[in-house]
Structure 1
Amino acid sequence: MDDTTIVLNAAEARLLGCLIEKEATTPDTYPLTINAAQSAANQKTAREPVMALDPGAVNHALRQLEQKGLAKQVFSSRAERYEHRTAAFFGIPQQQVALLGLLALRGPQTVHELLARCERLCRFNDAEDVRHHLDRLIQREAPLVVQIPRGPGQREDRYAHLLGGPVDVAAIAARVPSSSVGDAADPELEARVAALEAEVADLRAQVEQLLADRAG
């Protein structure tokens, strides 16, 4: 399947984002088991929206990602695991993989939100570097990202992924963002808070995975 026909449902997009994120943030537990993928998908922090996928839904979504060429099952002595194939499938560099993953995990975001939150996934030089890679994703023959014009009371445009097909740009533009990182008075403080939030979520997911492994 080529990238002009790829369409993911919400669960598949969330799981792809989780695989991208955890490859960078928890390499010791990557590729992910079904349990680890479920914990990552259902995190209460660093996710928009929060989801409650059961193991069957997670397993099905991962298998669908594998059929579509975006994930690969890796067998180990203890459990089946999955890794993503985003870079190879779309032919994009790590910076763009990280941006797609973050958009899949946290919904439409501004350039400054992405810059702050991408710190542990991939380093960017500055906001212009982020914008450059977003533009590359927009300008593809089959775009993977769309720019959302700023709405009333908003200072920055936002960006959304197109992995699930076309989006209602007008509806997203009118929606009040759940956070306003781009308007933050102290971008460095926001970046530190975002990093700490992600680290706490990763630690929680690892503890849940250890408990699940022991119970199994």
Structure 2
Amino acid sequence: MSLRPLRIAALLSALLVAACSTTVSNTASPASEATARAQLEQAARAALGKLYLNSKNATELSTNAAGILVFPSVVKAGLLIGGEGGKGVLFSADGAKVLGYYSVAAVSCCLQVGAQDYSEAMILMTPEAIQGLNKADGWAVGMGPTVVVSNSGAAKDITTTTEKADVYAFIYGQSGLMAGLGVQGQKITRLVD
């Protein structure tokens, strides 16, 4: 069995994730990086407001949360091999304080075609979930805390009295066309301050 198709797939995946990723470049000036972070924070606050407006569950869960990680724009694209990327902000449970800036990336290989942009909010219910985000090697969804995904009104039975997971992920505001939306296999990494 030849390894060439796997190498080509890996290379294409890396290129796709690089194209989708909106990670801040290290060559940016401190002033331009501060402006970019202010814009990201503003976009994340607007995306969180949209979630609260459309999801009673998210609003209720956030009252007992340790923090809320919001990615206002995650871009996902694929043609057999897919990738996604975006940047987000971790807010304190009340949304008043910024606790950090993060990037998300993922690569997938399956039957897929299309491109999509969406918002994602992760309501972190425990301090341990937040600690996991700040580890040097990042946090891989599916390898760490228990994550429950709610998509467009799903999981209506989640309330503050029935919650059992460490993290509740909400995917909303989708535009574009792509099948198989989810958070499995995502890698979340803290951006350098």
Q: Per residue, is there more strand in 1 or in 2? A: 2
- Normalised by the length of structure 2, the TM-score is 0.26
- Normalised by the length of structure 1, the TM-score is 0.24
Q: Per residue, is there more helix in 1 or in 2? A: 1
